[in-house]
Structure formats: C-alpha cells, structure tokens
Amino acid sequence: MTMWIARTKAELQTRLDTASRPVILVPTMGALHPGHSALINLARHHAGPDGTVLVSIFVNPIQFDKSADLDNYPRTEDADFEICQSHDADGIFLPEPSEMYFNDRSTTVSENLLSRLLCGAARTGHFDGVCTVVLKLFHLTRCDAAVFGEKDFQQLAIIQRMVRDLDLPVRIIPHPTVREPDGLAMSSRNRRLSSEQRADAPRILQALLAAAEKTSPPDILTSAREMIEASPLTKIDYLSLVDAETLQTTQHLSRPSILAAAVFYGDVRLIDHVRIAALS
Ligand code: PAF
C-alpha cells in the first residue's frame, strides 16, 4: 500500500478516520537511521499486518535549550520518507512548528521529579518540551501504543511516568538501544562527529561496561571516568550511577542501577548507559 503523508492536523484526522487499529506511533525528530528502522519494525510487529504504523517527524523547537542546536539539527526529509516506506510504515505525520504550536501557547506539561536529574539538570525545560509534544502527538494520532528507544532511558522513564500520572490510554513499548557494530549507540548526532571523534566514541560504551564489572559505586565511577577521560577528545558532561527506577543517585548496589554518561566530543553531546544488576 502507498504510504501517506499528512502535513496538517486536519489531513491527519482524515487519514485516521479510516485507519485500522491498533495505531502504533513511532515519534521521531527525523534524520532517521537504522535505530529508527528498528523502532518502526517493532511497531509493525505490534500493529500486525492490518494495523496502522504511523511515524511522526517533527523537530520540536520547544525541547531545544540552545537555538544553535535547533538550527543544526539535521533535516533529511526525502531519505526519511524512503526509510519509512521501506520499513512498511502506513503513514507519516510531518507538521510545521506553526501547525503544532500557537504563537501565544501558554500550556506546558511538566514532570517535576525525574526531569530535574541527569540530562535535565543542565537542560532547563528540555523534558517539559518533550512531554508537551509527546502528549500532543498521543492526542492527535489517537494511538493505542507508542515505541520509544531505551537509549534515551530518562526520556522513556519520564514518558512512562506521564502516562501513569495522567492515565493516558497509550501503551509504551520500549526498544533496546541499537548499536553500530563497534558498540556506539546509534544517534542522529553521530553524523556530526569528525572521523577522529567517531573512531574514538565507542570508548563510552567500553568504559561503562568495564566499570560495571566493579563492585563498589566509587570504583565504578572512577573506572568509567578514567577510561573516558583517557581520550583528549572527550569532555564528560555527567557520569552518574543511579537507581534504575527512581533515577536518583545511588551509593549502593542493592537495587538494579544504571550507569549513565553524557560526553561531549567538541560540541556533539553523546549519551549512553548500561544496566547493573543488584548485588545479592
Ligand atoms: O526522542 C526523540 O526523538 C524526541 O525527543 C521525541 C520523543 C520525538 C519528542 O520530540
């Protein structure tokens, strides 16, 4: 079947009036890569052959704290369409910012606990922007379920919290982090790395995995920091060992934890994490 593209909310509603259920949404900001392809495949798996897989492509201005990041965000519309088509998406929702936001909009969705930690600590308003657009997309697409990558585990946790707290009738389907053959987590940002930075970047995962073998939080953090900082190309934004559920910094390993890092290569900020099982 030919994939449809809706650029306005009205076009989307017309398409959805005849769409078969379940509708599974894959929210993206475009610049699609094989990580997104895996999300679309998982959406198809959950939709079944007759359900509807809908990909939204919207570079959401209100989740960027720096206008340069918004301006530099890659836009690859034609390649994105091909990826969606070749992975059997039924439709794409591709609105302009003016279609999504009124100039005088004054309503924002805020999650006020998990959003303040990790990536949220230095990026004021980022997760408010994410929650606001995701809630709008859930309403507009009337989706039954939505697929999110685990690479952005904090985003995933915040969206799950929003769904729980606001009783949203949307099932959240996580997809494990998709990696390049050398272990680097796939991200639209990877294409902005120089060849030297790209060659070095797998050290982030290597450092996290090696550190996860240690048995005390201080050793875990020291080990990961030393290995990441052994490269002159890196600058650590944060390196944290947190409780896997609350995302609060943890000093012991009696519960499942996450070792998470955000690392700058020049002005490209990469994130990754590994899970650490509770010590018995
Ligand atoms: O993860 C992303 O690409 C974005 O944060 C999302 C969920 C599409 C909201 O803009």
Q: Which of 27, 122, 35 is nearest to 83 (CA)?
A: 35
Q: For residue 100, give the amino acid letter.
A: M
> What per-residue confidence (pLDDT) applies to 122?
87
Q: Average model confidence (pLDDT) for the chain?
A: 97
pLDDT, one tens digit per residue, over 133-185 is: 999 999 999 999 999 999 999 999 999 999 999 999 999 999 999 999 999 99
- Ligand 1 and 92: CB distance under 6 A: no
CB count, 10 Å around CB of 277?
11
Q: For atom 9 of ligand 1, which residue has the closest CA?
A: 130
> What per-residue confidence (pLDDT) applies to 52?
98
- Ligand 1 and 63: CB distance under 6 A: yes
H-type alpha helices, the chain: 9-17, 34-47, 67-72, 77-86, 97-100, 118-122, 126-141, 153-165, 195-200, 203-212, 217-229
Ligand 1 atom closest to the CA of 130, numbered from 1: 9
CB-count burial class (<10 Å; 0-12, 13-18, 19+) for 79: middle
- Ligand 1 and 187: CB distance under 6 A: no
Structural element, H or E, at residue 270: strand 268-276
- From 26, 33, 60, 93, mutation site for ligand 1 pocket: most ligand atoms within 8 A of C-beta: 60
As annotated, the active-site residues are 36
> What per-residue confidence (pLDDT) applies to 27?
99
Instruction: Collect all residues with Cβ–Cβ distance below 8 Å to 161 and sequence separation of at least 6.
Output: 111, 113, 114
CA dist 174 and 195 (Å) reads 31
pLDDT, one tens digit per residue, over 194-219 is: 999 999 999 999 999 999 999 999 99
Give the residue, 16 or 65, on which the prediction is more confident: 16
